[in-house]
Structure 1
Amino acid sequence: MQDVLISAYRMFRMFVGLLKDISPENIYEVCDNFFNPFISSKEVKNELSNVIQGINYLPLEKNSFFKVICFIDLLEINYPDFKCVSFIYNDQLIWNGLCKDDMLTLYQYLVQNLLPKEVEKEIQGGAVTAAQRHGRFISPQDGIRCEEDLQKLPKVFLMREDDEEKKQYYLVIYRTLSATVCFTVYVDTTLDISTFKSLDAFIGPHLSTIASSISEQCTIHALQTAQITNADHNHL
């Protein structure tokens, strides 16, 4: 139970901020609106499955990892307001740009809350067209297609590797195939739909190519592992 409460508070700090920054007259309502849905969504009796104790990393061979790093560098050069803070394939982390505790909290939010819903939508066909095209923004839930959607972008309190303290950012999440990339943008940045359309056109093809390459590598690794296992079994 203690682990669930700690996890809940860290999630609260990421999306809402510090308790001391909430006015006394609003603190009860703010906490009630956040913690009640969060705790009720958890199976407290099976708390270990609800609290991620660590991050599952995906080891890549150097050429594939180099492609990921080049993609991130190229994107941040062309879109300096957007800073990549995580690159995830399936539910495994490949790259991150956050402090350790914040990365764990964001990782838990992604793999336990956001991504399972997206995978279910993809299986049911709700996002097939967009996925086949090249990718899509998955936060807010219905994507980003107009100026009004930009107002729905979630705000988070995070500490990037180059930060000295937590700061508030917009959280931008993009997904194609099984690859999910998260970006942060300072909340005082003026958001423009044309920038996001340009970003979509830039990320989609690059990320699709990288995701396909990683998928191929994972398949080869799985086949090699299966062959080794079979060889060991036959030897016995």
Structure 2
Amino acid sequence: MKTMSQNRVKYSSNLLKYFVFNSDWGSDEGSEHLKIVYFYKANCVDVLTDEMISECGLAQAVITFVNNFTTDKDSCEALHGIKNRLIFYEMETNFWSVIVLSVPYSVLKSNEDSNQIIEYHNEEINDSFIKLILQNIYQYFRLINGPIDKLWQTCNENRDQFLSVCKVFYDNIIPNIRLSPISLIEVYSAIQYLPLDSLTFMSTQSFVNHLKCIDCQLIRHTMFLYNDQLVCSSLPLNDTKTLYNYLVSVIIPDAVCEEISGQQSAKTRWILKDLKVYLQDCDQQWYQMSLYRSINGSTFVLLLSQPNQLLLTKCEALMVSRIVSLTTKLAEIAIKINGTTNTSTDPVAKETFKFVYFNSSNNAFKANISALFDQRKITESEFVKLVVDIDSDLQTVIKSHNVCEIISKTTNDSWLIVHHSDDRTLFSMLNHKNANLIEASDTVNALTCKQFKNILFVD
């Protein structure tokens, strides 16, 4: 009997549509189009109004139906279809953002005839992961434009002006959404901290305090970064992580490109002045943000209560004389830390042991996968997908259990071990196929001790 040969071609998930609407607007017949705030369809410039109304109507119908059975605000999360997936996020009361994704699928083709079989892989889309993307988009929107409901009031309920502001923002963000490769730091709004020794810490605090003393009334908050690592911040944690990720994802990369290309050769300079930003946890107020940068890697953030060019001139006079030398000290510490991490495990361990560590109490992140010295470029892999999937499952478990341990084997016979204690979670993957459960657990504990001395749950 002759066996037919077959080829399998796999297609990944893609962004099909993204739209924002207000469920309280356009309730009268014939005025349904008024509820639409923004609508994006991939590879389509002009979207028919009827299609926009239909999509928003479907989303609102699902939300209304679910709310009839629960009082939980976050109960309506997703609508699963065979080919498409809709994920919902309520940004503010009655303001909803919805993303529509194609479900990954495989096409199985026979070489002997034209028959083909299509298989859809619904389990490969993680609703919690996509919802985090929607939350991050709105955090950036709120940082630049303020809460969307307050923006509507600021525009004096002028619909055209309101829609124009929203369109400018979303047109710059939505077409560039990447579903893969996954950057865990960006998705979880995590922070890479630069740990300092006591002497350098005192030098940094002295520098920051001298700046604040120039005018304590106008200088409300500061933040200091070395490359992509946070040195210090006077902001509350939620504002810190939003502003930090906006800087390292949007602002600083452009400044680095200018420096690498030779467009900027000055040792220090302002890369941004008087950008209005809205900080949610800082009394829900607007601040004037200015960024001063050293060419050797430091970025200092000044948040003023109001614009003041004379104050910026005084601050520059102090920073230009101290920031370069301070950055040199920070560079030495960063090299030492990276060198220690790089040599703390033997070459075999680097290939067999991978870990990702989160601390939700301060949003700290640490990992040894992919590029060790640029953890923002973590690429998609089986391990990263497992981290995303298991973390979303853990959120339902840790509500009632403060300590949790998971030990399992993956499809390629690697050991996956997850430790959770209080606000800290460690995901470890060990590529020892012949190890039993006890050996795998002992090996991971030994390797973990080298990376997390005195801060985790291993002896």
TM norm structure 2: 0.43
**Residues 110-143 of structure 1, C-alpha deviation per residue, up to 9 Å, x if partnerless?**
1111111111111111112x12xxx111115xxx
CA distance in 1 between counterparts of 2:194 and 2:287 reads: 27
8 A Cα contact 2:214 2:315, kept in partner? no
Higher RCO structure (Cα 8 Å, ≥6 apart): 1
**Residues 145-192 of structure 1, C-alpha deviation per residue, up to 9 Å, x if partnerless?**
xxxxxxxx21011156xx4x21111101111121111111113x5x23
Q: Percent identity at matched positions?
A: 24
- 1:77/1:159 CA distance change after superposition, 3 Å: farther
Aligned equivalent of 2:250: 113
> C-alpha root-mean-square deviation of aligned residues, in Å?
2.3
- The correspondence for 1:36, drawn from 150, 171, 180, is 171
8 A Cα contact 2:278 2:284, kept in partner? yes
CA distance in 1 between counterparts of 2:203 and 2:318 reads: 15
CA distance in 1 between counterparts of 2:132 and 2:311 reads: 40
2:287 is matched by which residue type in structure 1? Answer: Y
Aligned equivalent of 2:208: 72
- 1:15/1:225 CA distance change after superposition, 3 Å: closer
CA distance in 2 between counterparts of 1:96 and 1:110 reads: 13
Aligned equivalent of 2:278: 157
Kindly indicate which of the two structures has a greater share of residues assigned to helix. 1
Aligned equivalent of 1:168: 286
2:292 is matched by which residue type in structure 1? Answer: Y
- The correspondence for 1:137, drawn from 270, 283, 288, is 270
TM-aligned CA deviation for residue 84 of structure 1:
3.9
1:154 is matched by which residue type in structure 2? Answer: L
8 A Cα contact 1:174 1:180, kept in partner? yes
TM norm structure 1: 0.80
Alignment of 1:21-32 (within 5 A): 21=150, 22=152, 23=155, 24=157, 25=159, 26-32=161-167
8 A Cα contact 1:87 1:180, kept in partner? yes
TM-aligned CA deviation for residue 221 of structure 1:
3.5
TM-aligned CA deviation for residue 82 of structure 1:
2.2
8 A Cα contact 1:169 1:184, kept in partner? yes
- The correspondence for 2:298, drawn from 164, 179, 194, is 179
Gaps of 5+ in 1: 141-152
- 1:228/1:51 CA distance change after superposition, 3 Å: closer
Aligned equivalent of 2:313: 197
CA distance in 2 between counterparts of 1:231 and 1:18 reads: 49
Larger CA Rg, structure 1 vs 2: 2
TM-aligned CA deviation for residue 232 of structure 1:
10
